[in-house]
Amino acid sequence: MAWTYKLKRTFGNRYAMTAVLFLAILLWGSVTVLLGVLEAGTACAGYERPGLLRKTDPSVPGRERAGALLSAPADLTAAPAPAEPWPGQLSRQTAAAERAVTRALEDDHGLIEVFGAYQLLSGRTVVEDTADPAYSVARLKNGSLTFVGQGEADPGEQAAELKRLQTALEERDAALLYLQAPSKLEPGEDALPYGLEDPSNDCADRLMDALEEAEIDHIDLRQTLREAGGEWGDWFYQTDHHWGQEAAFVCFQALAQKLTDYRQTVTVGGETETRRITIDPRCADPDCYDKQTLPDFFLGSQGKRVGASYAGADDFVLWTPKFPTLLHYAGATGGDRYGDLTETVLFPQRVEERDFYGGNPYTYYAGGDYPFAQITNYYNPQGPRVLLIRDSFSCAITPYLALACSQLTTLDPRSFTGDLLGTIDWVRPDVVVVLYSSGMVREETYYRLLAQPAASKGDALRWEGREIFGET
């Protein structure tokens, strides 16, 4: 048998290739760790780092070679310092080596890329995270990546908490609107690899039913995207769990249309009046925005865990309005920001250069997740006042909503620690919008937005499994 045929047969075998790549990864990892440790300067006990060794001229006692500083002669009569016990030396040097190895692995993302290439060539559709299964990455049938959702909340309890908020808002002449953001898993479709399940869409379906029964206004943005047509996967980044900018804009259009069903309080000529909300049509018109595409620019949250070699990189699109804007953004990183949209709610510095692992272009919109922020639109003083209770999906929709409002206040319950009703009394919104993604709908915690009432005797009896009536 010719050696060329043997070579072709060996490397054409999937398992042989897997073995070769695995050995290559081990070699790469060993070299990376070794170089990282040496660079970090972990030295043997009793020796200085190589770069700091001093070569002295023995003919000139107490003096280093030309150009060096004078050094005092050693005190030969002084007793030597007691030697550190060997267990302590071993523990200290082991800890130093471990820190150096950790820094080497964190700083060299090439190992992640090689690992991702190995997973791809071996045909793996699930890359498990043994430390935290919630961050295991699965490849969908369309090639996109996703985290596998866990947890399942009680939609009846979630709806009951939103009903409490709605009642409190009605007492303040404000409306409540709930928006259910979509996930990368299309409702009714089996896109996950065999054996995996994700309860997100089922939880969202049951929550929509509970909100309908509780008579709470809501928009299922999953349905909005379905009605818009196209491939479901095209609405999302391939390597990130968030929706893309076009999907966010389509859903904003649905929100803008829904806002016109509500009323707002405005001051005209020194007098206060209530009238139906109107939205500047330019805000919801895609032709009123310039769009610049940055090709292969974004490696998302899932892509960072497996490398661009496993799933590629995403294009990132910058939307900027063609019409004049003037805003004030308070609460974002860097203090108050005044100017047009690109100087306030958009963050061009986040996309100045491509940095797959150190950057996050998604925060170009709204800057990221802040506990509390407020945007005042000076060019739309008669627009509605909206309070947006949000998660990270709202970053992509915030700039457009800010242009449609006179004032937009955003609040992230994952980090906000203030009193919601007190904040509402201060902001005086016309509409409170709750926009949650599938990651939030699997939790009950983030729906408990109001302080919980004190437990009554009846509650205590119910918890004990006893009848309320007849008890004293």
Q: Do 319 and 204 fall into the same domain?
A: yes
Instruction: Give the pLDDT band (50/70/90) at residue 27.
Output: low
Two structure tokens written together for 140: 């969908």
Q: Are 237 and 245 in contact (CB under 8 A)?
A: no
> Mean pLDDT lowest for which of 22-36, 56-70, 188-202, 308-322?
56-70
> Mean pLDDT lowest for which of 103-112, 262-271, 396-405, 446-455?
103-112
Residue 19 has pLDDT above 60, yes or no: no
Q: Which residues contact 379 (CB under 8 A, 6 or more apart)?
A: 324, 325, 326
pLDDT tens digits, one per residue of 264-303: 988 877 788 899 999 999 999 999 999 999 999 999 999 9
Neighbours of 317 (CB within 10 A): 17
Residue 242 has pLDDT above 80, yes or no: yes
Pick from 295, 378, 361, 283: nearest CA to 322: 283
pLDDT of residue 159: 96
Q: Do 283 and 397 fall into the same domain?
A: yes
Residue 434 placed within a domain: yes
pLDDT tens digits, one per residue of 159-176: 999 999 999 999 999 999
Give per-residue burial for 353-390: e unless 16+ CB within 10 Å, then b. Answer: eeebeebbbbbbbbbbbbeebbbbbeebeebbbbbbbb
Q: Do 441 and 382 fall into the same domain?
A: yes
pLDDT of residue 82: 67
Residue 71 has pLDDT above 70, yes or no: no
Instruction: Give the pLDDT band (50/70/90) at residue 8.
Output: very low
Instruction: Give the pLDDT band (50/70/90) at residue 447.
Output: very high
Instruction: Give the pLDDT band (50/70/90) at residue 37.
Output: very low
Instruction: Give the pLDDT band (50/70/90) at residue 462.
Output: very low
Residue 419 placed within a domain: yes
Q: Are 207 and 449 in contact (CB under 8 A)?
A: no
Amino acid identity of 289? Y
Number of structural domains (the chain) is: 2
Between residues 460 and 138, the one the model is more confident about = 138
Instruction: Give the pLDDT band (50/70/90) at residue 89.
Output: low
Q: Do 325 and 400 fall into the same domain?
A: yes
Residue 116 has pLDDT above 60, yes or no: yes
pLDDT of residue 113: 83
Q: Do 249 and 388 fall into the same domain?
A: yes
Q: Do 98 and 203 fall into the same domain?
A: no
- CA dihedral sign of residues 353, 356, 357, 363: positive
List Cβ<8 Å contacts ≥24 apart for 329-337: 329/367, 329/373, 329/374, 329/375, 330/373, 330/374, 330/375, 330/376, 331/370, 331/371, 331/372, 331/373, 331/374, 332/366, 332/367, 332/370, 332/373, 333/367, 333/368, 333/370
Q: Do 102 and 195 fall into the same domain?
A: no
Instruction: Give the pLDDT band (50/70/90) at residue 90.
Output: low
- CA dihedral sign of residues 409, 411, 416, 420: positive
End position of a domain, from candidates 53, 78, 108 = 108
Residue 295 placed within a domain: yes
> Mean pLDDT lowest for which of 130-144, 174-188, 254-268?
130-144
Q: Per DSSP, what are the bridge partners of residue 145?
A: 139
Pick from 260, 301, 267, 261: nearest CA to 281: 260
The span from the CA of 412 to the CA of 432, in Å, is 13
Q: Do 357 and 435 fall into the same domain?
A: yes
Two structure tokens written together for 135: 């961050």
Between residues 156 and 107, the one the model is more confident about = 156
Q: Do 101 and 159 fall into the same domain?
A: no
Residue 129 placed within a domain: no
* Average pLDDT of the segment spanning 26-53: 46
The span from the CA of 411 to the CA of 97, in Å, is 43
Q: Are 252 and 433 in contact (CB under 8 A)?
A: no
Residue 218: strand, helix, or coil: strand
The span from the CA of 406 to the CA of 271, in Å, is 18
Residue 59 placed within a domain: no
Residue 168 placed within a domain: yes
- As a whole number, the mean pLDDT across the chain is 81
Instruction: Give the pLDDT band (50/70/90) at residue 389.
Output: very high
Q: Are 379 and 389 in contact (CB under 8 A)?
A: no
Q: Do 94 and 229 fall into the same domain?
A: no
Neighbours of 207 (CB within 10 A): 24
Q: Do 97 and 204 fall into the same domain?
A: no
Instruction: Tell me the CB-side half-sphere exposure of residue 297, using CA atoms within 13 A.
Output: 17
Rg over CA atoms, the chain: 30
DSSP code, position 429: -
pTM confidence score = 0.75
Which residue segment(s) compose the domain that 265 sits in? 155-447
Instruction: Give the pLDDT band (50/70/90) at residue 355.
Output: very high
> For the residues of 30-76, what is the DSSP string, one character each?
HHHHHHHHHHHT---TT---GGG---B-TTSTTBBSTTSPB-PPP-T
Three-class SS of 264-308: EEEEECCEEEEEECCCCHHHHCHHHEEEEEEEEEECCCCHHHHCH
Neighbours of 181 (CB within 10 A): 30
Q: What percent of the chain has pLDDT over 90?
A: 55
pLDDT of residue 80: 59
Q: Which of 2-11, 111-120, 194-203, 297-306 has the highest mean pLDDT?
A: 297-306
Between residues 337 and 332, the one the model is more confident about = 337
The span from the CA of 398 to the CA of 345, in Å, is 8
Residue 48 placed within a domain: no
Q: What is the biggest distance separating any 2 CA atoms in the chain, rounded to whole angstroms?
A: 104
pLDDT of residue 164: 97
Burial class of residue 430 (count of CB atoms within 10 Å of its CB; 0-12, 13-18, 19+)? buried
pLDDT of residue 469: 35
Q: Do 194 and 338 fall into the same domain?
A: yes
Residue 262 has pLDDT above 70, yes or no: yes
Residue 147 placed within a domain: no
